[in-house]
Amino acid sequence: MFLKNEKIKITVSELSTYFSCPRKLYYSCRGHEQFHSSSPSYMEHLVLKEVAMQYSELLKGSSSKDDVLSADFDSMLLQVMDELGIIYPDEVSGFTQEKMSEVAENVRSFLPEIQENLSEQVENPEICKIADMISSSDNEPYLQSEKLNVTGVPYRLLSMDDSFVPVMIKTSKAPENGVWNNERLHVTSFAMLAEEAHGVPIKSGLVIYAKSGHFRKVNIHSNDRRQVLKAIGRARKIKDGKMPDKNESALCASCEFTEMCNVKASLASKLL
């Protein structure tokens, strides 16, 4: 039966893939795995995510830079590694103890920078207030927009100053200032769903960069919403079968689909 384009449901996670590269969405929604669940880089992503979930609690319990600098980050990582198999049994089952130790060592190399950056943030009252709220809530809210036919689950949705602040954790490297453009659109997507659910405009979001311990607040503008709306329409067409043009970028070098993408591109050029 022909599926009407507007009826195709989109998730915020798919939009995030689209923001990274439209072709990645094309491949991933046709059964090709974007991340190999048995790859060390995917396991590192999971460990960093779990480590980042501890940052707010740490800031909440610290009243000075010295408090953060004297915290035992090694023990925090050990605890995360201990609990990983309980939280992600499927993913961890494919890993030997030796491979897990390599992943832990890699993450351990980020800890000094994380600790230093978190210690700077303990002096920022706004970040401390947000960290306090994050550590007091433990739900990942399911958001659904009937209007857009989009669903998503942010890490947190904080109720602040008569509005809401969607929060997400990213394990990518943080830019020098602010957040990456695709991550601003990602958090905007959550804001748009939350606006429909709660009926209030949302003006900002927060990105926690796991690898460096940065908390970055981001303002959401009309132009971001416009871009998300366009992306939803385009993502629907891609899910419906339209192959987007190849968008060569620095990402291609480390992309899981690079071989597939090059083959398709050269086949297409032979046919022209």
Is residue 258 within the footprint of ligand SF4 (CB under 6 A)?
Answer: yes
Is residue 156 within the footprint of ligand SF4 (CB under 6 A)?
Answer: no
Contact 134, 87 (CB under 8 A): no
Tokens of 120: 């700077």
Exposed / middle / buried, residue 13 (Cβ in 10 Å: 0-12, 13-18, 19+): middle
Is residue 251 within the footprint of ligand SF4 (CB under 6 A)?
Answer: yes
Q: In whole angstroms, what is the distance from residue 13 CA to residue 156 CA?
A: 15
Q: Of the candidates 15, 19, 23, 58, which one interacts with ligand SF4 according to CB under 6 A?
A: 23
Among left, alpha and beta (phi > 0; psi -120 to 50; other), residue 49 is: alpha
User: Of the ranges 41-49, 58-66, 186-194, 248-256, which one interacts with ligand SF4 (CB under 6 A)?
Assistant: 248-256
The terminus-to-terminus CA distance of the chain in angstroms comes to: 32
Q: In whole angstroms, what is the distance from residue 42 CA to residue 31 CA?
A: 18
Given the complex with ligand SF4, which of 216 and 239 has the nearer CB atom?
239
Is residue 243 within the footprint of ligand SF4 (CB under 6 A)?
Answer: no
Contact 210, 56 (CB under 8 A): no
| Residues pairing with 144 in the sheet | 151
Is residue 21 within the footprint of ligand SF4 (CB under 6 A)?
Answer: yes
Query: Closest approach of Cβ 258 to ligand SF4, in Å?
Result: 4
Is residue 16 within the footprint of ligand SF4 (CB under 6 A)?
Answer: no
| Three-class secondary structure of residue 41 per DSSP | helix
Q: In whole angstroms, what is the distance from residue 22 CA to residue 28 CA?
A: 10
Q: Whats the size of the chain, residue-wise?
A: 272
Tokens of 207: 């990105």
Query: Closest approach of Cβ 36 to ligand SF4, in Å?
Result: 14
Is residue 190 within the footprint of ligand SF4 (CB under 6 A)?
Answer: no
User: Of the ranges 42-50, 106-114, 224-232, 244-252, which one interacts with ligand SF4 (CB under 6 A)?
Assistant: 244-252
* CA–CA distances in Å: residue 140 to residues 133, 137, 153, 156: 13, 9, 6, 5
How many residues in the shown chain lie near ligand SF4 by CB under 6 A?
A: 11
User: Of the ranges 131-139, 152-160, 215-223, 250-258, which one interacts with ligand SF4 (CB under 6 A)?
Assistant: 250-258
Is residue 252 within the footprint of ligand SF4 (CB under 6 A)?
Answer: yes
Q: Of the candidates 24, 45, 211, 214, which one interacts with ligand SF4 according to CB under 6 A?
A: 24
Query: Closest approach of Cβ 37 to ligand SF4, in Å?
Result: 18
Question: Site residues (CB under 6 A) for ligand SF4?
Answer: 21, 23-24, 246-247, 251-252, 255, 257-258, 261
